[in-house]
Amino acid sequence: MSNTLVAEDTRKEARTAAWVAAIACTALIFDGYDLTIYGTVLTTLMNDPSQIGQLTPAVAGTLGSYALMGVLVGALTCGAVGDYFGRRRLILIGIAWFSIGMFFTALSTSVFAFGALRFLTGIGLGAILATAGATIAEFAPAGRRNFYNAIVYSGIPAGGVLAAFLGILLLEPIGWRGLFMIGALPIVFLLPIALFKLPESPRWLLSRGRRAEAEAIAARTGVPLVEEVIMQRTGAVKEKTGFAAVFSSQFRTGAILLGFMSFSGLLLTYGLNTWLPKIMEGYGYGKTYSLTFLLVLNSGAVIGGMLASKLADRSGPQRIVATTFVLAAITLALMTFAFPLPVLFIFIAIAGVGTLGTQVLIYGFTSNYYTTNARAAGVAWGSGFGRLGGIFGPLIGGWLLAANLGGATAFYIFGAVALFGALVTILVPRQRTVEQAKAKAEEILETQDIPASATDIPVTDRV
């Protein structure tokens, strides 16, 4: 290929990756919004039984877990079908589903209806979570995949920032129902954009044997397919697809450990986003300060997660994730001491990097750990199994408050979970098969002069 054509393909790839990242990130902003908005309005719901009924701390913790149970169902279901039915279709369905769910949740008038609708909304959120990482991993330019994953999954803590900020500004004037209505807006603006601007992954199409479609979209978007061709030639891509591939001998050990990494990260994420305002009220801070702590926690996650992703692209995500987990454990322990408020804010911001920010890196680590035939299922397994941790996070906080145990106990428990996350991260085996395939790929590129575009590969050599 001429340098001009290569440069044009590079520009097309960058534009496509930017659109995919923007759509996926915006969808996950509303996942993060849903995650945090419950913690934002929880004090209001507990203090006013006329809203949806009487809420004890234990019931409130259980309600906080219902959406996560739905996410677990949605993620695992979409993981089972995502590598068969494609990325684009599931993202579109997920956006519509969770938007409608948020709308009807805002209308609920009983604890039962609120919990049921939180569960149903979670199914749509799970579909997005299971698919967004697999999608951006197949559109992101080589060498920047951790960074693009961080952009996409930073949408979750960014949504937390949005929820905390809007909670501070709008909880009094529009109430908790109005805040939930805001979560339904993606069906109005994001779904139409995604319909026109989100392409199907050409790498997924190629893995399904749909060569003509893959080549047409690759030519239009600039996404190179040569890596997939080489992986097929060198035997790195197996015939198994979906969960069968995830739990094959190639990925099994790593998949289990990645699942526990996500379990730890999401327990910390959901536990803190649900209970941090209430815990800090126990330390004597009023409602406005308590919501500000959520704002600081999620802001730290966004900024720190983006910076850490740059380091992950340079030195690999494994070491960085283990380090941020340890940072979380240290800062959570320090938050039990009576430091001045500015110092406390710094600790909470660092804790945000080590909890929510770490989970952003885990999604990137997981997305790039698997080959195309296993990617959607692998991401779904990590986020789905991880949601068990997300379910336990709010429950642990509720149990501790119901037992009249102080916030220090919660912080120490969360810190221990962070140390466990660091340990399992260190134990994840490197994906040797993929690394060997890439080494072989370099040899093939040097000796056979394989072009950078799948459309330039001779028909007899195409997958």
Distance of CA 87 to CAs 84, 155, 279, Å?
Answer: 9, 18, 39
Give the list of residues 6+ apart from residue 57 with CB closer than 8 angstroms, or none: 46, 398, 401, 402
Q: Please report, to the nearest 10 degrees, the dihedral formed by the alpha carbons of residues 409, 413, 416, 418 taken in order.
A: -120
CB 428 within 8 A of CB 318: yes
Distance of CA 166 to CAs 173, 189, 276, 329, Å?
Answer: 11, 19, 17, 29
- The pLDDT profile of the chain, 463 residues, written as one tens digit per residue, is 455 655 666 788 888 889 999 999 999 999 889 877 887 888 888 888 888 988 887 788 788 778 878 888 888 887 777 667 778 888 999 999 999 999 999 999 999 999 999 999 999 988 888 788 778 888 888 777 778 888 888 888 788 788 888 988 898 899 999 999 999 999 999 999 999 999 988 887 887 777 888 888 888 887 777 555 545 444 444 456 677 888 888 888 999 999 999 999 888 887 887 778 777 777 777 666 666 887 888 788 888 888 888 888 888 889 899 999 998 899 888 888 877 888 888 888 888 888 878 888 888 888 788 877 777 788 878 877 887 887 788 778 777 777 777 667 888 888 899 999 999 999 998 865 444 444 455 455 455 554 444 444 333 333 3
CB 181 within 8 A of CB 103: yes
Rounded Cα gap, residues 201 and 139, in angstroms: 7
- In the structure encoding, which two tokens stand for residue 186, read together? 């993606």
Q: In the CATH hierarchy, which fold is given to the domain comprising 3-461?
A: Growth Hormone; Chain: A; (1.20.1250)
pLDDT for the residue numbered 385: 84
Rounded Cα gap, residues 5 and 103, in angstroms: 47
**Distance from the Cα of residue 264 to its chain's centroid:** 13
Torsion-angle region of 449 (φ positive above 0: left; ψ -120 to 50: alpha; else: beta): left
Domain ranges of the chain: 3-461
CB 204 within 8 A of CB 86: yes
pLDDT for the residue numbered 290: 65
pLDDT for the residue numbered 455: 41
pLDDT for the residue numbered 365: 87
